[in-house]
Amino acid sequence: MEKNFEQRTFQSLAVQLLTQSGGRPLKAEFLGPARVEVTVRGLAASVAALAPSEVRPYLDISNIDKPGIYEVSAGCYVKGDGLDVKEIRPALVKIKITE
């Protein structure tokens, strides 16, 4: 039996910031887009059932500990089994970190 794979693109998803807990609080400001486009691939039924709220793009800035301007690779959490993130556009987002 052949499996039916499909891909779907979710547009204009808000990017969440993953920050470190504890330590001194730093502020982050988006210099690039605060929204991205995410393409997900998986079994057709899983992809069709996926809601935009179950696709959560993020920037992991937990390892940034000093002010400056950074280009951070976007990651994405997708709820569901057998689903893969194929592409995030833009892949890099520029942010400014201040105290």
> CB of 86 within 8 A of CB of 28?
no
For residue 57, which phi and psi values (nearest 5 degrees)?
-75, 150
Instruction: Tokens for 39, please give them.
Output: 């393409």
User: Which has the closest alpha carbon to 33: 12, 52, 6?
Assistant: 12
* 99 residues of the chain, pLDDT tens digit each: 567 999 999 999 999 999 877 766 789 999 999 999 999 999 999 999 999 999 999 999 999 989 999 999 999 999 988 899 999 999 999 999 998
Structural domains in the chain, CATH included, are 5-98 (2.170.120.30)
- Global pTM reads 0.90
Instruction: Give me 18's structure tokens.
Output: 């993953």
